[in-house]
């Protein structure tokens, strides 16, 4: 199972590049933020993740996000 804070951090780095440490990929950032939203332990965390997800998912189609989420879920298993 994914760790909530690690998932948020991964999404952030994919959205911003983390000072050049990783390649920016807004589609992946969006998908990982959606996963973080699902893992959020509190209502406050869900609100913050939803707000961030709206930013990370701007200009990313639902189909792109769904395809990436499906790929992640196939690799995670039950």
pLDDT tens figures, 50-77: 899 888 888 888 888 788 777 767 766 5
Q: Answer for the pair 75, 38: CB distance below 8 angstroms, yes or no.
A: no
Q: What is the pLDDT of residue 63?
A: 84
Entry pTM: 0.78
Which residue has 């189609």 as its token pair? 61
Q: What is the pLDDT of residue 78?
A: 52
Burial of 70 (C-beta count, 10 Å sphere; 0-12/13-18/19+): exposed
Q: What is the pLDDT of residue 77?
A: 52
Mean pLDDT of the chain: 86
Sketch the domain layout of the chain as residue ranges.
Answer: 4-76
- The C-alpha atoms of residue 65 and residue 24 are separated, in whole angstroms, by 15
Q: Answer for the pair 59, 53: CB distance below 8 angstroms, yes or no.
A: no
Q: What is the pLDDT of residue 74?
A: 72
Is the pLDDT at 27 greater than 70? The verdict is yes
- The C-alpha atoms of residue 47 and residue 16 are separated, in whole angstroms, by 20
């Amino acid at each position: 199972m994914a760790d909530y804070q690690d998932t948020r951090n991964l999404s952030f780095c994919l959205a911003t590049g983390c000072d050049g440490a990783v390649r920016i990929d807004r589609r992946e950032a969006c998908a990982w933020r959606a996963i973080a939203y699902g893992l959020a332990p509190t209502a406050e965390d869900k609100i913050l993740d939803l707000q961030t997800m709206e930013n990370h998912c701007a200009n990313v189609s639902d189909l792109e996000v769904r395809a990436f989420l499906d790929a992640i879920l196939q690799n995670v298993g039950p």
